[in-house]
Amino acid sequence: MGTYLLRRFYGGVVDGVLTATDAAVPAGDRAALALALEEAAETATRGAQREFLAALSPAQRELLTSVFDVAVVQAQRETLLLLTLFVLVVLLVSTLLPNDGSDADS
């Protein structure tokens, strides 16, 4: 579930930035960008992240902040929905398990 959450978050960030900049990028390229963002976020040092943010204008930083906020909320909602569906499927399957009829009190 953690992997799904992170994939949806990074995908949401890429989609949000591309939408905000009106960039037309094919879906396959968006997935590649999301993967590249994930790898960059995992390997970048705090200093490199600060340098990147310092190079942005205040408007760009504000845009990124709002894109990140939307992406994290959407990723959490989708992950929660997936977890809910998983629990419901497990409950449904558990009702199909055979009952051997033995009593635990006996």
Stretch 61-80: mean pLDDT = 94
Considering Cα of 96, then 100, then 101, then 103, what sign does the dihedral take?
A: negative
d(CA 93, CA 106): 27
Supply the pTM of this predicted model: 0.73
Considering Cα of 15, then 18, then 23, then 25, what sign does the dihedral take?
A: negative
pLDDT tens for 10-50 read 999 999 998 888 888 888 888 888 889 888 888 888 898 88
Residue recorded with tokens 């879906």: 27
Task: Write down the domain spans for the chain.
Answer: 2-87
Predicted pLDDT of residue 88: 97
| pLDDT band for position 104 (cuts 50, 70, 90) | low
Nearest Cα to Cα of residue 8 among 83, 64, 78: 78
